[in-house]
Amino acid sequence: MQDLTQYPSITPELIDRGHARRMGHLENYFALSSRQKLYTNFSMYCELNEACSKDQLVYAIRSICLKYPTLIHTVVPKNLPNSEEFYSSQEYLSKPWPVHDFIKVIDHLEIDDILMNNQPEYASLVAQLEDLFVHNGFKYSKEMAEILSPVAIPYCHQGRPNWRLICLPEEDRSTEKWRRFIFVSNHCSSDGSSAINFFKELVNELDDEPEKISNSTTVFDYAADHLQLNKLPKPIEERIDFKPPLSYIPRYLINSFISSSFGYRSPGGHTTAVDEIRDS
């Protein structure tokens, strides 16, 4: 029986259904990197052949999320809502914590929880991106990636997932459809391949959408949808055998000796948090 004292939102029922579990080592690493402000985000641009409406986007993303619940998960830290204070306290910093925190699927998700265009905290950034995109002749550029680079998607927001979508404007500014998107994620449980797969799935769902779709803005509601939801996948280290063959050990020892004795060592200082770099 797991001790859930520090995680009131995690229930045995969620765990039994496969909709909550402990983080894997790699997931925990990126959560730590986000918490220590050593990492911000990765992003990927995609352009579809045909534009889609908001209703179509809700339908497609909902279908994808039911198949791949990683897209609707969040990290559940210890001692919510006072987790930030806890992780900077002596209680936490004075000893190792070998048992990782949890991830769980979000209780309720609206399309505006995903679209950065409709989130006030990103209004200025999205406006910059849109203006630059139009100025570039509706082409994505490295300058847009640079504008996005400081954005840190919260890794433990209890009502929003670890990724966002930005809808870029069309040449016809009066239309309420989009075909150019930017996927932005904090990397806790996704990477570049995940972004590619998301856009592939998005295209497939848009191609196969029924004639009539709902005009609901709800992407997911756990109480109503949990029976349709797949289980969270196991951590990657439980699905891939990382144990090297015995023949690798001599090569590892020799390489370690060469690296430690003759390898390059940076004369730089300690690793600096992202926000300290921006403020300097």
Q: What is the pLDDT of residues 99-150, one digit of tens each?
A: 999 999 999 999 999 999 999 999 999 999 999 999 999 999 999 999 999 9
pLDDT tens digits, one per residue of 157-199: 999 999 999 999 999 888 889 999 999 998 777 677 888 999 9
pLDDT number for residue 32: 87
pLDDT number for residue 246: 86
135 given a catalytic annotation: no
CA distance 187 to 41: 6
Phi, then psi, of 62 in degrees rounded to 5: -60, -45
Structure tokens at 1: 């029986």
pLDDT number for residue 264: 66
pLDDT number for residue 268: 65
Least confident interval from 17-26, 92-101, 256-265: 256-265
Q: Which pTM was predicted?
A: 0.86
pLDDT number for residue 280: 57
Q: Which amino acid is at 121?
A: E
Sequence-ordered list of residues with C-beta below 8 angstroms from that of 53, at least 6 positions apart, any chain: 176, 177
Highest average pLDDT, of 27-41, 73-87, 118-132, 143-157, comes from: 118-132
pLDDT tens digits, one per residue of 210-230: 888 988 999 999 999 999 999
Instruction: Tell me which residue of 148, 173, 164 sits closest to 112, measured CA to CA.
Output: 164
pLDDT number for residue 194: 85
pLDDT number for residue 239: 81
pLDDT number for residue 200: 95
191 given a catalytic annotation: yes
CA distance 220 to 95: 38
Phi, then psi, of 118 in degrees rounded to 5: -110, 20
pLDDT number for residue 265: 67
Higher pLDDT, 262 or 77: 77
Residue count of the chain, please give it.
280
Structure tokens at 184: 């932005």
CB 162 within 8 A of CB 73: yes
Q: Which amino acid is at 156?
A: C
Residue with the two structure tokens 């670890």:
162
pLDDT band at residue 267 under the 50/70/90 scheme? low
Catalytic residue among 187, 225, 226, 279: 187
pLDDT tens digits, one per residue of 46-75: 999 999 999 999 999 999 999 999 999 999
Q: State the sign of the Cα–Cα–Cα–Cα dihedral 143, 147, 149, 150.
A: positive
Structure tokens at 165: 């979508």
Alpha helices in the chain (DSSP H): 12-17, 25-35, 54-67, 83-87, 90-93, 123-135, 142-148, 192-207, 222-225, 236-239, 248-262, 274-279
pLDDT tens digits, one per residue of 9-27: 999 999 999 999 999 998 9
Catalytic residue among 55, 191, 221, 226: 191
Phi, then psi, of 274 in degrees rounded to 5: -60, -45
pLDDT number for residue 207: 93
